[in-house]
Amino acid sequence: MSLHCAPATGRERVKIVFLNRYFHPDHSATSQMLSDLAFHLAGHGQVVHVITSRQRYEEPAAALPATESIGGVAVHRVWTTRFGRRHLAGRAIDYLTFYLSAARRLARLARTGDVVVAKTDPPLISVPAALVARLRGAQLVNWLQDIFPETAERLGMRFAQGPLSTLLRGLRTLSLRTARVNVVLGERMRAVVEGLAPGTTEIIHNWADGAEIRPIPAESNPLRETWGLAGKFVVGYSGNMGRAHEFETVLGACELLRDEPGIMFVFVGAGSRRAWLEREAKARALTNIVLRPYQPRPGLAESLSAADVHLVSLQPALEGLIVPSKFYGIAAAGRPVIFVGERDGEIARLIAAYGCGTNIASGDAAGLAAAICALRDDPARAAMMGNAARHLLETRFDLPLAMARWEAVLEACGGGRR
């Protein structure tokens, strides 16, 4: 689609104001994507502000500075409660206080013609952003990493049922229709959003930095020795371990392969299901599972290259609502991907089209185990898939390509250089 957003009048430059609960130096996926884009824009002469919290994803008690300038980006960290992610009620209060504090700060920052980019952490941040943008004469861009409350509904969360769900849907849809642009992550998500706010969507996939994350051969990767993986065929999972991800099939494959001493499963990251995963591994006496914390960004090339093949999973009910961002880092590391989920899902389509891995239906633990063994037994095929993944990254999902797409969208909305 062609976007024609009214430019600001009477001013040389406009501000681009991002809203997201996490920002650099936090290591969560939404933070890293936002940090990449904000620093890129600021480095190319844009006036960039970020409204965020003072917390880190896994450290609600963190006390990051209230205001600072990082890489040319003006960072405004607003006050919120600090209950963290462990309990739903506490998380809801954290969300509410962020809505209020972020809206107040945005009202002070935004002016006519500015561009407000609202991400989806916390969910429904687009609602207060839309209200403030309208009052201040700014233009709203929604950057949808997921679609809420449908995601909560399909995960069976009680608060997202009944009249409350109807109210949340109505407010969310109004914020989508108010936006100048709704940026989505793939074709299936686009179909969902077009049904709610026709003619507003642009697809900009998430990305990885192919210059930062490059394939490292197993024999020259020091992390494999450090983690005790030398001589093993390593099946990796890297990133968020949340409710949206499908682990039952993966654990089933771990059980089926428990007597294969040369195969190890390495889970790197955190999330609401990590504790469950640890308990299940212990209860089932699975000694072929290793768990590691999130790795610092400078070490991602080694961490992602430590695996011979990577797993990506998504609950089938969430297709069209979420696109797992871990896929792009795996592609940058040049490793084959096994996707566990719906065979016609967004990631599954990419894998099938570009030959960079294998798709396994949810529940097919035997099929997953067989696919892992097949790649272990055919190194040439695994290498071919890894090369295809890297080629896909370089031609479609590398950071410079995504930055160019974002620049075009923002410039059309009056947020480009003049």
With b for 16 or more beta-carbon neighbours within 10 A and e for fewer, the 352-372 pattern comes to eebbbbbbbebeebebbbbbb
pLDDT at 63: 86
Using H for helix, E for strand and C for coil, what is the string for the chain? CCCCCCCCCCCCCCEEEEECCCCCCCCCHHHHHHHHHHHHHHHCCCEEEEEEECCECCECCCCCCCEEEECCEEEEEECCCCCCCCCHHHHHHHHHHHHHHHHHHHHHHCCCCCEEEECCCCCCCHHHHHHHHHHHCCEEEEECCECCCHHHHHCCCHHHCHHHHHHHHHHHHHHHHHCCEEEECCHHHHHHHHHHCCCCEEECCCCECCCCCCCCCHHHCHHHHHCCCCCCEEEEEEEECCCCCCCHHHHHHHHHCCCCCCEEEEEEEECCCHHHHHHHHHHCCCCCEEEECCCCHHHHHHHHHCCCEEEEECCHHHECCECCCHHHHHHHCCCCEEEEECCCCHHHHHHHHHCCEEEEECCCHHHHHHHHHHHHHCHHHHHHHHHHHHHHHHHHHEHHHHHHHHHHHHHHCCCCCC
Low-confidence ranges of the chain (pLDDT < 50): 1-11, 417-418
Dihedral angle over CA of 324, 326, 328, 330, nearest 10: -140
pLDDT at 75: 98
| Both tokens assigned to 309 | 């093949």
pLDDT at 85: 73
How much is the pTM? 0.93
* Rounded Cα–Cα distance for residues 342 and 361 (Å): 6
pLDDT at 416: 55
pLDDT at 415: 63
* Rounded Cα–Cα distance for residues 312 and 87 (Å): 26
Write down all domains in the chain, each with its CATH number in brackets: 15-207+398-412 (3.40.50.2000), 218-396 (3.40.50.2000)
Q: What is the CA radius of gyration of the chain?
A: 21
Using H for helix, E for strand and C for coil, what is the string for 358-404? EEEECCCHHHHHHHHHHHHHCHHHHHHHHHHHHHHHHHHHEHHHHHH
Q: Which residues contact 167 (CB under 8 A, 6 or more apart)?
A: none
